[in-house]
Amino acid sequence: MAHVVVLGAGLGGLPTAYELRHLLPKSHRITVISDKPQFTFIPSLPLVAFDLTPLKHVQLDLERLLKKRDIDLILGTVTHLDPHHQEIRVGDRALQYDYVVVSTGAALDLDAIPGLGPDNGYTHSVCNPHHAELARDAWQEFERNPGSIVVGAVPGASCLGPAYEFALLAEYVLRKRGLRDRASVTIVTPEPYAGHLGIGGMADSRQLVAQLLQRRGVEVIENAEITQINEKQVILADGRSVTFQYAMLLPPFLGAQFLRDTPGLTDDKGFLPILPTHQHPDFPSIYSIGVTIQLPTPEVTPLPMGAPKTGQMTEAMGMATAHNIAVDLGVIASEKVGSNMEAICMADFGDSGLMFIADPVIPDPVTHQRRRAVALAGLWISWAKAVFEVYFLMKMRLGLAVPWFERLGLRMLGMSSLVRSLQPQPETSGAVTSQKTS
């Protein structure tokens, strides 16, 4: 009997645990370790910050989900990982593992810039449930005395979509509540241009984003290096300052502290190197998915930025990982697979939305092209994201990972299988296409 431990119970960890339970006979033990008792649908946290949905509506109780599926749950913070002896410590408790899946999500580098908050600074974030609730409380106070809003990211941040979503949701909420004429909205971003998103843009994303921000009266400061944040000001490297009454700035991500504390396991930011199978190159019993993996940036930018690792990408990594562990254990007579690293990002702006598809997120190293790059705009995307939230929470309640009908839906969007063969494929020729729908 093997013991497979999944570290983290978020968008990557929980579906991966479900897929492992689906693939592995009950003689194999599966344990999920989480530092929080709830699963949270993180993409909906901007809605929580604006009090458009209660936090409890996007959370599920992990004990209830896992107990009836023969998956063990340990609540606590991992303090030590010994890859040589295959041991994990959670407080005073030690666990031996045969395989471990690292899906801990992001630790936030809130010390990257003086004054970066919310814990010991002046800004807010929507990167975790606690921060979203703090952002909501501050927003309620802001509505009583509106003023200038600054939204964006500091150098080194990745996954810029939530910044645009937050800024445009703020503009939408202010309009709906009759406060728009009393507030300004400014985006401050390290991107070379708005719509770059840390991956060099997709299709006409630059044009779509610029037009949308102009229509909404949102100012943008591009290629902006934030060096300090005071109580009411964001200070830039070129000497400019931007005054705010309310600020939401995305911080850079790090790997979890216990990962950074393990010699030889990660890079200096705590991200794990992976083989195409998602295994660590030096410790084959360790698999890694989601934010925790090393992922090169698609291009060098004047200011440092991280490459985004979206929820859909993370799910695909989890499906490949579960398959490969089943192969390791002899449950599946198959070759190992990799994930396709195709990214879908949906941003809800209240009465509009944007969807970006990067296939794959990292372009071909030779041609510097993607198979497909798509930018879509319209009110239907706002509806689609709301429907997807309901769907994702439903499948987590039902104990499903990526069921056949979801895979069919992805294929209808033009996405290939979530996993890919690692065997050499015959060369094919064909043009790379970019698409835009508005």
Domains in the chain and their CATH numbers?
129-252 (3.50.50.60)
Q: Specify the pairing of strand 372-377 against strand 353-359.
A: antiparallel
Q: How many C-alpha atoms does 215 have within 13 Å on its Cβ side? A: 11
Distances (CA, A) of 92 to 80, 88, 96: 10, 10, 13
Give the model's pLDDT for residue 145: 96
pLDDT at 360: 84
Q: Count CA within 13 A, CB hemisphere, residue 48.
A: 25
pLDDT at 404: 66
State the pLDDT at residue 218.
98
Predicted confidence at residue 4, as pLDDT, reads 98
* Strands 184-188 vs 219-221: parallel, antiparallel or unpaired: parallel
Contacts of residue 37, defined as CB under 8 A and 6 or more positions apart, other chains included, come to 61, 62, 63, 75
127 part of the active site: no
| pLDDT tens digits, 303-329 | 999 888 888 899 999 999 999 999 999
Cα–Cα distances (Å) from 313 to 90, 172, 252, 257, 410, in that order, read 28, 29, 19, 23, 12
* CA–CA dist 230, 222 (Å, integer): 20
> Residue 15's pLDDT is what?
96
pLDDT at 434 (0 to 100): 41
pTM: 0.93
- Which one of 345, 374, 396, 418 is the catalytic residue? 345
Residue 12 confidence (pLDDT): 96
- 254: tokens are 């790090």
pLDDT, one tens digit per residue, over 386-421 is: 999 999 999 999 999 877 677 666 666 665 567 888
Tell me what pLDDT residue 432 has. Answer: 39
Calpha distance 394→329 (Å, rounded) = 30
Residues of the chain below pLDDT 50: 428-438
In whole angstroms, give the CA distance from residue 205 to residue 194: 8
The answer to whether the CB of 203 falls within 8 A of the CB of 382 is no
Find the catalytic residue in 159, 160, 213, 316.
Answer: 159
Cα torsion through 341, 345, 8, 70, rounded to 10: -90
Report the interhelical angle of 311-328 vs 13-23 (nearest 10°): 30
Interatomic CA distance for residues 193 and 181, integer angstroms: 27
Could you give the CA distance from residue 386 to residue 340 in angstroms, rounded to a whole number? Answer: 25
The predicted pLDDT at position 410 comes to 65
Instruction: Give the integer Cα–Cα distance in Å for 314 and 12.
Output: 5
Task: Give residues with Cβ within 8 angstroms of 426, minimum separation 6.
Answer: none
So what's the pLDDT on residue 412? Answer: 66
Residue 35 contacts residue 76 (beta carbons within 8 Å): yes
C-alpha pair distances (Å), 101 with each of 30, 40, 104, 110, 253: 11, 19, 9, 26, 19
